[in-house]
Amino acid sequence: MREFTYQRALDVSGAVALLDADPDARFLGGGTNLVDLMKTGVERPAQLVDVRELPLDHIEVTGDGGLRIGATVTNSDLAAHPEVRGRYPALAQAVLAGASGQLRNMATIGGNLLQRTRCGYFADVTKPCNKRVPGSGCPAATGEHHNHAILGASEHCVATHPSDMGVALAAFDAVITYETIDGPGELPLAEFYLPVGDTPHLETALPPGALITGVTLPPAPVAAHSRYRKVRERASYAFAIGSIAAALDARDGVVRDVRLAFGAVASHPWRARTAERALVGAPADAAAFAAAADAELAAAKPLPHNGYKVTLMRNLVVAVLTELAEEAAR
């Protein structure tokens, strides 16, 4: 870890100004990802701008019944908030499925969206990685990849995005708000993460120097009947090998509205729109759920050792939607 200067930002405009002056600067939120990456040498900033104490730590119900979540709200506060748990239970569950109690107390919503992949090649500076050192190569495709992407990846990078929270945000059409030196802006989550292509090092559409100020969730009655399920290689405190955020509105055995997003299968939280389209108006039964999953996963391009994720995601879609349908029928 090289030496760096440290400044604590007092307000949003000051934070943005500080970062804008220095391309080698980084915002420091909870530090749960950045400080680790600095220790492993993946990140070597010359300046840290601490934004943890910015007044962005509120969760508010918006006038239309959605939610506005400040960027420095911690994962813990998000998951414990009654409005989150009541209106978007899958979001609370997703956050609770991530990391540990300690890390959730530290990690912020803004940082969670910007966390880097947990690909072991990316995290190890002694190995090649196109995301870390563009053009150095991706050893995963021919090396260890049993927990790498099956959707939306490219030959240049098959890393996955590790966020659980992001999967639920993707399902609920979150919009990211940010501030730059030129003023505020916003990006729907669907446009927030860039396609991998041949530029895996470019991860988000945030303008350079932008500070995430919050996340807005539009109202979504269907979200009240939602669930997050995460499969991992131990029962807790591990990243997903496959996860799903699902919401279902089924009446009289017919799907009225549905939301589906997948985690740990792509470079970003994967909104399963193909499956959603196939389901609206379809019977709320296992056969329809399976067919929708298959439609979504038809685009999957598994590697030799991660083909199980296709089966896993199909099974998760069927299992979780079936549970939600049974609950709705009760």
Partner 1 sequence: MAPAPSSTNSAVTLNINGEKHTLTVDHRTTLLDALRERLDLTGTKKGCDQGQCGACTVLLDGRRAVSCLQLAVAAEGREITTIEGVAQGEKLHPVQQAFLDLDGYQCGYCTPGQICSAIAVIEEHAAGWPSAATDDVRPAAAPPPLTPEEIRERMSGNLCRCGAYVSIVQAVARAAGIETEAAQTEGVETEGAAA
Partner 2 sequence: MTTATTGTRAVKASVGTAHTRVEGRDKVTGTARYAGEIPFAELAHGWLVLSTAARGRIRSIETAPVLAMPGVLTVLHNENAPPLDTDYMGMLGKPDPTAAVFQHDRVPHVGWPVALVVAETSEQAREAAEVLAVHYEQEPHDIAFSADRPDAYTLDGFSPAVTEKGDLEAELGASATVVDAEYTTPEEHHNPMEPHAATALWDGGRLEVVDSNQGTTWVAGEIANMFSLDPGSVRVRSEHVGGGFGSKGLRAHQVAAVMAATVLQRPVRVVMTRRQMFSLAGYRSPTTQRVRLGADADGRLRALDHSSLSATSTVHEFIESSAGPARTMYDADAHHTANRVVRLDVPTPTFMRAPGEAPGSFALESAFDELAEKVGIDPIELRVRNEPERGPVSGLPFSSRNLIACFREGARRFGWADRDPRPGVRRDGRWLLGTGTAAASFGAGAGPSTAAVTAEADGTFTVRVNAADIGTGARTALTLVAADALETTPDQVRVRIGDSDLGPAMLAGGSMGTRSWAWAVTLAADELRERLALNTGVPPEGITVRSDTTAAIGALSQKERHSFGAQFAEVAVDPATGEVRVRRMLGMFAAGRIVNPLTARNQFVGGMTWGISMALHEEAVRDRATGGHYGADLAGYHVAAHADVPYIEADWVDDVDPEDPVGIKGIGEIGIVGAAAAVANAVWHATGVRHRNLPIRPDRVLTAGGHA
Partner from partner 1, partner 2, none contacting 258, C-beta within 5 to 8 A by type: none
Minimum distance from residue 235 beta carbon to partner 1 (Å): 7
Task: Identify the residue among 66, 70, 89, 209 touching partner 1 (CB under 8 A).
Answer: 89
Q: Does 291 bind partner 2 (CB under 8 A)?
A: no
Task: Identify the residue among 14, 120, 185, 195 touching partner 2 (CB under 8 A).
Answer: 120
CB atoms within 10 A of CB 78: 27
Structure tokens at 9: 């930002």
Q: Does 106 bind partner 1 (CB under 8 A)?
A: yes
Q: Does 233 bind partner 1 (CB under 8 A)?
A: no
Q: Does 237 bind partner 2 (CB under 8 A)?
A: yes
Report how far residue 301's alpha carbon sits from residue 65's, in angstroms, rounded to the nearest whole number: 39
Minimum distance from residue 189 beta carbon to partner 1 (Å): 22
Q: What are phi and psi of 193, to 5 degrees?
A: -90, 135
Q: Are strands 47-50 and 25-28 parallel, antiparallel or unpaired?
A: parallel
Q: Are strands 175-180 and 183-188 parallel, antiparallel or unpaired?
A: antiparallel
Stretch of 54-62, 153-161, 228-236, 254-262 contacting partner 2, by CB under 8 A: 228-236
Partner from partner 2, partner 1, none contacting 41, C-beta within 5 to 8 A by type: partner 2
Single out the residue of 259, 270, 42 nearest to residue 161, CA to CA: 270
Task: Identify the residue among 63, 135, 183, 236 touching partner 1 (CB under 8 A).
Answer: 236
Q: Which residues bind partner 1 (CB under 8 A)?
A: 1, 3-6, 8, 28, 30-32, 35-36, 38-40, 48, 50, 52, 76, 79-80, 82, 85-86, 89, 92-93, 96-97, 99-103, 105-106, 230, 235-237
